[in-house]
Amino acid sequence: MNKLLYFRGSMNNRYIIIFDGVCNFCNGAVNFIIKHDPNGVFAFTPMQSDIAQKLIAEYQVEKVGFDTFLLIKDNTCYFRTDAAIEITKNLSGYWHLFRVFKILPRPIRDYFYRVFARNRYNLFGKMGSCMVPTLEVKSRFIE
């Protein structure tokens, strides 16, 4: 059975976050989102997974590297700062207020995103392989 079709059928109401699975900062961001997503609307897959690569190809996202953070929500693919801002809409607490950064033009927001992304391993380190989710959150991960 096609894994992508199985995934789509089994998690219709979830939004997919594609992240760098070996980046310590990225894994921290995933844990943060899980903590502030009491309704479990987000599902996660590391950029290094086959499913992530199939989704990237399906949505025809160009110039994607391991430094690119993606969100697939309602058949739209958001990346970099647009993904982060879109995610805040569904988090508990006052995180939706970060949508104010949408007033900044995307090239400016994404410039700072790319500078941070280039230096995140130096600042936060990286793991030798993708994280293994705990049993409590394993259902939130795809492959």
Q: Output phi, psi for 8, to 5 deg.
A: -60, -40
Structural class in CATH, domain 3-140? alpha beta
- Taking only the tens place, the pLDDT of each residue in 63-110 is 777 677 899 999 999 989 999 999 999 999 988 888 888 899 999 999
Gap between the Cα atoms of 55 and 37, Å rounded: 22
CB contact set of 26 (below 8 Å; sequence gap of 6+):
19, 20, 69, 120
Q: What is the largest CA-CA distance in the chain?
A: 44
Bigger pLDDT: 103 vs 126: 103
- Indicate the pLDDT class of residue 128, thresholds 50, 70 and 90: low
Gap between the Cα atoms of 17 and 43, Å rounded: 6
pTM: 0.82
